[in-house]
Chains A and B, each alone.
Chain A
């Protein structure tokens, strides 16, 4: 990065944060602070919902997923349209009519105080842990690539988001997210444009599809019924619907975004805006990864994109075995390029048989390259346990730094930070709100005035920011970053959804049955997660079904204690 990149990065990030603070500096009313001034239009809500879900790892890791596994990850989002229609039809009207600050307030109205506390506690637990990941993930990638100090990066990004979220509350989140998303879209569109311009001039659109498809990168839909396949049409449609229903319907960081609409209409349209755009958006980001894959078949790719592995390779040039692996890998990749150029020539001349044999030779050379890479990764892991050759998170950033001009590099790094700050701000805003409304005002300082609650919310927002920073400073991740966040969510979301499904649709179930049913269901999900090897997309469905089933059984055993069930269900 040069001075121009730093000007773009620092100017845009600080400029947006400063504008957000300036616009929302007079929020002294609790209602306005927690739910916004009530003038938020549907487009701003739609952007805010999108920005809250799309964190930095969405834009850093997803192209890497596309590069390594093709388009199959898009299937995770097949549940979004169905889930958002259900929320717009059933959840949203109730939240709006009851004028709640948090989704969990509704649980007390429908069941009892302890069920509300359980729902809010599950949210705080999983979102509090996840909050550390959303700040750690971009920081670890940026620092390992640029050599910035990790702790200073985490702390400075964390403090910035804490400052504007604490000062402006919900409106500050919405206002800044609008401009942060503009930076993100500008960066991604520019990167895609430059990437396409860098592909070989004789590579036509049809050639690109065939090439990517020949290497199994265009596998957008897989109808396999195996539960062990992580991403399939069925796991995306069924499991994904439950995951998205849980996330958008019961996670306060999302609920707080769409209940801030000035009317039911604005909130609904904002949600449905995402129902239409989420799949094409994720597809486009994955496609960038697939195009980077195509690009690197005609250019020499590094053996490892992962920064720790690359640094280790560079600093151990005297290691004969590692150097031999790299030489062999480069040779295999060079053969891939030669065979693919022959394939293109034959294809354009209409010589199908020569084209087929050239592509077969290219595939075999590619396979050999992958075998060499795997052997080198094992050797590397023995010599340096920190170098995990976890490429998915580093593919896009490596391409950006090696291939894009200065200024654009700064814009894209600003886009990653903007994404990190936008999702972080929504999380902190929701964590502070839920802690105040669901615990402080009910259990710690009963009858606290609005002014007390406003001050408390600011303090809790700052404290959760501190927790997230602390967690990020000590976080170590097992898998690639975007999957780690999704897996964490899938463990808790199912039971949360189960509580809300019972609340909305099963009228005769009371507080005790749902409370204990939810606890047992959560224990079951923990047990299954550590014993089974099924796709994580199924856990929200399992958790939700278990919660509903156990509460039905417990209600039958306990019998009906109240003469009259509270009237907040179907």
Chain B
């Protein structure tokens, strides 16, 4: 956790993502990582299939 030197408690609206399927920020980060891994896998498959 980073200490900003100011208010340590994030505002409530910042805690909520407001997204229907990804309600917490950790879920959003996991989604981004999963989409990244999926893209890498697709690109590797494309490289191998076209060789």
Contacts and interface: CB of A to CB of B under 8 A. Distances in A.
Interface in A78-101: 78, 81-82, 84-85, 88-90, 93-94, 97-98
B5 A220 contact: no
Interface in B3-51: 3-7, 10-11, 13-14, 16-19, 25, 28-29, 31-33, 35-36, 39-40, 43-44, 46-47, 49-51
A400 interface: no
A97 B46 contact: no
Contact of A275 (B1, B25, B32): B32
A218 B49 CA distance: 9
A89 B43 contact: no
Contacts of B18: 265
B35 A276 contact: yes
A81 B36 contact: yes
Given A85-B33, A89-B29, A263-B13, A220 B46 contact: yes
B13 A265 contact: yes
Contact of A570 (B2, B11, B39): B2
B3 A567 contact: yes
B47 A98 contact: no
In this complex, which of A210, A212, A265 has the most chain B Cβ atoms within 10 angstroms of its Cβ? A265
A276 B32 contact: yes
Nearest to A75: B43
Given A221-B40, A276-B32, A280-B39, A263 B11 contact: yes
Contacts of A569: 2-3
B23 to A, nearest CB: 12
A567 B5 contact: yes
Contacts of A90: 2
B47 A93 contact: no
A209 B5 contact: no
A151 interface: no
A567 B4 CA distance: 7
Interface in A263-280: 263-265, 268-269, 272, 275-276, 279-280
A144 interface: no
Contacts of B39: 279-280, 283
Nearest to A280: B39
Contact of B7 (A97, A109, A272): A97
Contact of B5 (A88, A89, A109, A269): A109
Given A93-B2, A280-B39, A218 B50 contact: yes
B3 A221 contact: no
A462 B49 CA distance: 52
Contacts of B36: 78, 81-82, 275, 279
A85 B18 CA distance: 18
Contact of B51 (A74, A213, A265): A213
Contacts of B1: 570
Contacts of A279: 36, 39
Given A90-B2, A279-B39, A569-B3, A218 B29 contact: no
Given A263-B14, A567-B5, A568-B5, A209 B49 contact: yes
Given A78-B40, A85-B33, A220-B43, A265 B17 contact: yes
Tell me the interface secondary structure of chain A in the complex.
helix
Interface string A182-221: 0000000000000000000000000001101110001111
A543 B4 CA distance: 25
A311 interface: no
Contacts of B28: 268-269, 272
Interface in A224-269: 263-265, 268-269
Contacts of A276: 31-32, 35
B49 A568 contact: no
A269 B36 CA distance: 16
Contacts of A219: 47
A189 B11 CA distance: 40
A567 B10 CA distance: 17
Contact of B10 (A93, A98, A210, A280): A93
B32 A209 contact: no
Which of B16, B33, B43 is the most central at the interface, judged by chain A CB atoms within 10 Å of its CB? B43
Of the candidates B1, B7, B28, the one having the most CB atoms from chain A within 10 angstroms of its own CB is: B28
A504 interface: yes
Contacts of A567: 3, 5
Given A93-B2, A566-B5, A85 B29 contact: yes
Interface string A94-113: 10011000000000011000
Contacts of A499: none
Contacts of B32: 81, 84-85, 272, 275-276
A155 interface: no
Nearest to B29: A85
B7 A71 contact: no
Interface of B: 1-7, 10-11, 13-14, 16-19, 25, 28-29, 31-33, 35-36, 39-40, 43-44, 46-47, 49-51
24 contacts: A71-B47, A81-B32, A81-B33, A81-B35, A81-B36, A89-B29, A93-B10, A109-B5, A110-B5, A209-B50, A210-B50, A212-B50, A218-B51, A219-B47, A220-B46, A221-B47, A264-B10, A265-B17, A265-B18, A269-B28, A275-B32, A276-B31, A566-B5, A569-B2
